[in-house]
Amino acid sequence: MTAPAVPDAPGAPGLSGEGPTATSGPVHVIGSGLLGASLGMALTRRGVEVTLEDISPLNVGVAADLGAGRARAQGDPEPALVVVAVPPDMAGGVVVRALRDYPGAVVTDVASVKSAVLQDVHDAGADLTRYVGSHPMAGRERSGPAAALPDLFEGRPWVIVDSGASAETALLRVRDVAVDVGAQVFHMDAASHDKAVALVSHVPQVVSSLMAGVLAEADDRALALAGGGLRDVTRIAASDPALWAVILLGNAGPVAGLLRGVRDGLDQALAALDQAAAGSLGEPMAALHRLIAAGNEGVARIPGKHGGAHVDWDEVTVMVPDEPGALGRLFTLIGDIGLNLEDVNIEHAGGKPVGLTTIYVAKGAGAEAAAALAGAGWRILA
Amino acid sequence: MTAPAVPDAPGAPGLSGEGPTATSGPVHVIGSGLLGASLGMALTRRGVEVTLEDISPLNVGVAADLGAGRARAQGDPEPALVVVAVPPDMAGGVVVRALRDYPGAVVTDVASVKSAVLQDVHDAGADLTRYVGSHPMAGRERSGPAAALPDLFEGRPWVIVDSGASAETALLRVRDVAVDVGAQVFHMDAASHDKAVALVSHVPQVVSSLMAGVLAEADDRALALAGGGLRDVTRIAASDPALWAVILLGNAGPVAGLLRGVRDGLDQALAALDQAAAGSLGEPMAALHRLIAAGNEGVARIPGKHGGAHVDWDEVTVMVPDEPGALGRLFTLIGDIGLNLEDVNIEHAGGKPVGLTTIYVAKGAGAEAAAALAGAGWRILA
């Protein structure tokens, strides 16, 4: 069963993954959750034959109905590539079984931790030349095949991890899939990958959850004062506990190493605050200044922050009043005057989209955009 | 000097603070930075006479030029209200001086910590009946009078703090100013205020800065994998070290109390990770699950989060491809078909506004909006 081709309406957006397709199937996807079903949809749409397997027949049925492929049947030819898309703690075992069951296939897995999976494959004495680790860094708040999207990997990082013995043909077969579905490829060894995701994903998750945990017992009146800062810091604290317990367990060493650095900083902050509460000023002031300044330095290193990717755009900041429909009127006007937005940042006061909205337009187009909006009565901020 | 009235163009947004004005001046604002100048502009625009004072004559000049009022002169009548808008560590002393210099005036300050200021005023034996603490919770990334906005307080919380002996007329005079400039008034005692802002503002700042501090020494290749989660957690880590060192020192007790709770949680997480690294599974898994689940509970208590204020809207999620102008075309279309947006949430992949964009429309309008966008060729997500 092949998903119907989606005809692009005139003027509709194309997808960067819609050039030529290098992957030739069949691709067998084990695990029909969000990632497996999304990958199946993306490859099927590009004309690649995809077969599906899951411990839940319902998941396979849903994924197949959504155009992710068809259930694998007796007598099907051996796949060229097997993609293992099961939870991280099961990935190693399923990779080992796939390497054994399909002795001519390249096997990859999409688990978000890589050393533990590689260790399992290594310890089982499986054929490391045909195994390549993958980590497509794509996700949604929802999980399961019903949340799958053929575009899920579009523009997202996809880390490819050499087993240490991966054949070049195996590495290229996995790279082709990543590029075919629109992802941006990074090559790392397993240890570097695990340290990197501890830094950019796992430790931020723990820190956000710890902060949000403090709110559980807080006073309602205090929480009514919450602003955008608290909201930002705690947004990812809404993540799934079962999934995250497995991820953190699977990357315990690197996560603990970085968290110890956080705790050292926290202990210094506490020492400074305790000295201050006891009446001392100079040393605590210097310590707290260092803490915030170190954060300035760190946040400036994240690519694509304001001052990063946004440096090539003009920004226009508009005051959006607290009244029904205000934001809608602003965007209607932006559409009417044909402003080509590169990005939008909406501040929220008290949970409402009121206050400062910043739009980003091409370099040089800011003054004209500001004048057009001001001419229609909107307040533009310096 | 009065700022020219800004005529509202037809169909332009009004401001909720533009009803009748209760405040009758003169209001004297001491400190012409972001908050002082913004308040001066907001009151001047409403026809209230505002005088200005600052240790920097340049600041007074800039603020006056922007329509925040005029420099206070010899022979001016005594103000009805003095607003002290200086850094938190200086606020107490300036309040005491203002209470002495203007024996008929009500005096308030806008410092973000309240117990320390009240203590200074109390210790100086000043007239507590005429003193009321304020904390307008408004700010921008930029500071100084040049960044001032007459709308800065629009829709923002403004906490009013009784000195313990504040006269009712004094409390009402400050409340009138807050309501006149469009803020949402909360009444708290100084200790409750300081605990509340430790929770919603000061501790999140420390946590965000600690997380960002870990990035200062990180590998560039690891940082290239940064996604929206890390960006959100560390956004406020870009805050001003000098200002924040003063704020944290001024609220050391409550901040340290809450941070100790964060450290306890962090120690539990570290213990679980260390056990896991040593091969244990059951207890670490349960502990990490509890950590993330407690964060779920806490974040759900923040008013106005998704599931909070957004529960009354329909949401439509659109796939924005990674190509120039894609987001602009989406908003142009939204304007063309007259969709009335209540809010917009744009995901960023690799720092670019590509991926999932969610628009919020009135309850019941979601299906039609989705159909209209899909009809124009956009991919709408389930």
A216-225, B9-18, B105-114: least confident range: B9-18
Instruction: Looking at the structure, tell me whether residues A218 and A175 fall in a common domain.
Output: no
Mind giving me the DSSP string for A301-358?
Answer: TSTTSTTTGGGGEEEEEEEE-SSTTHHHHHHHHHHHTT---SEEEE--BTTBS-EEEE
Joined together, the tokens standing for residue B63 give: 């603020």
Residue type, A75: G
- Distance in angstroms (rounded) separating the CA atoms of residues B190 and A183: 52
Is the confidence at residue B69, as pLDDT, over 80? yes
Instruction: Looking at the structure, tell me whether residues B208 and B156 fall in a common domain.
Output: no
Element (H, E) at B84: strand B81-84
Joined together, the tokens standing for residue B183 give: 């803020």
Instruction: Looking at the structure, tell me whether residues B283 and B376 fall in a common domain.
Output: no
Phi-psi region of A188 (alpha: psi -120 to 50; beta: other; left: phi over 0): beta
Q: What is the pLDDT of residues B162-203, one digit of tens each?
A: 999 999 999 999 999 999 998 999 999 999 999 999 999 999
**Shortest distance, CA B318 to any CA of chain A (angstroms):** 11
Is residue A9 a part of any domain in this protein? Answer: no
Instruction: Looking at the structure, tell me whether residues B27 and B153 fall in a common domain.
Output: yes
List the one residue out of B135, B191, B130, B126 whose CA is nearest residue B160. B135
Average pLDDT over residues B10-29: 69
Contact B297 A213 (CB under 8 A): yes
Q: What is the pLDDT of residue A306?
A: 38
Instruction: Looking at the structure, tell me whether residues A246 and A315 fall in a common domain.
Output: no
Instruction: Looking at the structure, tell me whether residues A176 and A37 fall in a common domain.
Output: yes
Is residue A330 a part of any domain in this protein? Answer: yes
Residue B345 burial class via C-beta count within 10 angstroms: exposed 0-12, middle 13-18, buried 19 and up: middle
Contact A331 B344 (CB under 8 A): yes
List the one residue out of B290, B295, B296 whose CA is nearest residue B272. B290
**Shortest distance, CA B12 to any CA of chain A (angstroms):** 5
- Distance in angstroms (rounded) separating the CA atoms of residues A97 and B213: 42
Contacts of B354 in chain A (CB under 8 A): 154-155
Instruction: Looking at the structure, tell me whether residues A46 and A120 fall in a common domain.
Output: yes
List Cα–Cα distances, B382 to A139, A140, B9, B318, in angstroms.
Answer: 14, 12, 40, 9
Instruction: Looking at the structure, tell me whether residues A328 and A237 fall in a common domain.
Output: no
Domain closes at, from A188, A211, A231? A188
- Which structural domain, as residue segments, surrounds residue B357? 309-381
- Distance in angstroms (rounded) separating the CA atoms of residues B63 and A381: 15
Is residue A3 a part of any domain in this protein? Answer: no
Instruction: Looking at the structure, tell me whether residues A260 and A319 fall in a common domain.
Output: no
- How many distinct structural domains can be found in chain A? 3
Q: Which of B146, B328, B351 sits opposite A340 (nearest CB)?
A: B328
Is the confidence at residue B239, as pLDDT, over 70? yes
Average pLDDT over residues B210-217: 94
Instruction: Looking at the structure, tell me whether residues A209 and A259 fall in a common domain.
Output: yes
Contact B154 A319 (CB under 8 A): yes
Is residue B203 a part of any domain in this protein? Answer: yes
A266 contacts B266 by C-beta, under 8 angstroms: yes
Is the confidence at residue B144, as pLDDT, over 90? no
Is residue B341 a part of any domain in this protein? Answer: yes
Contacts of B8 in chain A (CB under 8 A): 377
Calculate ∠ Cα B121-B123-B125, nearest 5°.
75
Is residue A2 a part of any domain in this protein? Answer: no
What is the value of pTM for the model shown?
A: 0.84
Q: What is the pLDDT of residue A16?
A: 45
Contact A186 B221 (CB under 8 A): yes
- Distance in angstroms (rounded) separating the CA atoms of residues B144 and B60: 11
Pairing of strands B184-188, A343-346: unpaired
Q: Average pLDDT, whole number, for chain B?
A: 87
A117 contacts A107 by C-beta, under 8 angstroms: no
Chain-centroid distance of CA A19 in Å reads 23
Three-class secondary structure of residue A87 per DSSP:
coil
Best probe of the A interface among B274, B311, B322, by most A CBs < 10 A, is: B322
Domain closes at, from A255, A270, A300? A300
Q: What is the pLDDT of residue B17?
A: 46
Contact B349 A235 (CB under 8 A): no
Q: What is the pLDDT of residue A356?
A: 73
Q: What is the pLDDT of residue A3?
A: 35
List Cα–Cα distances, A19 to A83, A171, B173, in angstroms.
Answer: 22, 21, 67
Beta carbon pairs, A and B, within 8 Å: 548
CATH of residue B356 = 3.30.70.260
Is residue B6 a part of any domain in this protein? Answer: no
Average pLDDT over residues B3-17: 38
User: On the CB side of B254, how many CA atoms lie within 13 Å of its CA?
Assistant: 25
CATH of residue A249 = 1.10.3660.10
- Distance in angstroms (rounded) separating the CA atoms of residues A34 and A86: 10
pLDDT by 10s per residue, chain A, length 382 = 333 333 333 333 444 445 789 999 899 999 999 999 999 999 999 999 999 999 999 999 999 999 999 999 999 999 999 999 999 999 999 999 999 999 999 999 999 999 999 999 999 999 999 999 999 998 766 778 888 888 889 888 999 999 999 999 999 999 999 999 989 999 999 999 999 999 999 999 999 999 999 999 899 999 989 888 898 899 899 888 998 999 999 999 999 999 999 999 999 999 999 999 888 888 999 999 999 999 999 998 988 643 334 456 788 888 877 666 777 788 888 877 777 777 787 766 555 555 678 888 888 888 888 899 989 888 887 6
Q: What is the pLDDT of residue A14?
A: 44
Q: What is the pLDDT of residues B250-301, one digit of tens each?
A: 999 999 999 999 999 999 999 999 999 888 888 999 999 999 999 999 998 9
**Shortest distance, CA B131 to any CA of chain A (angstroms):** 23
Q: What is the pLDDT of residue A90?
A: 94
Contact A221 B303 (CB under 8 A): no
Best probe of the B interface among A90, A143, A230, by most B CBs < 10 A, is: A230
Instruction: Looking at the structure, tell me whether residues B67 and B155 fall in a common domain.
Output: yes
- Find the closest chain A residue to B217 by CA distance: A298
Is residue B55 a part of any domain in this protein? Answer: yes
Contact A276 B147 (CB under 8 A): no
Pairing of strands B81-84, B106-109: parallel
Q: What is the pLDDT of residue A63?
A: 93
Domain closes at, from A144, A160, A188? A188
Residue type, B367: A
Instruction: Looking at the structure, tell me whether residues B222 and B173 fall in a common domain.
Output: no
The most confident of the ranges A115-124, A324-333, B148-157, B372-381 is A115-124
Q: Which residues pair with A185 in a beta bridge?
A: A158
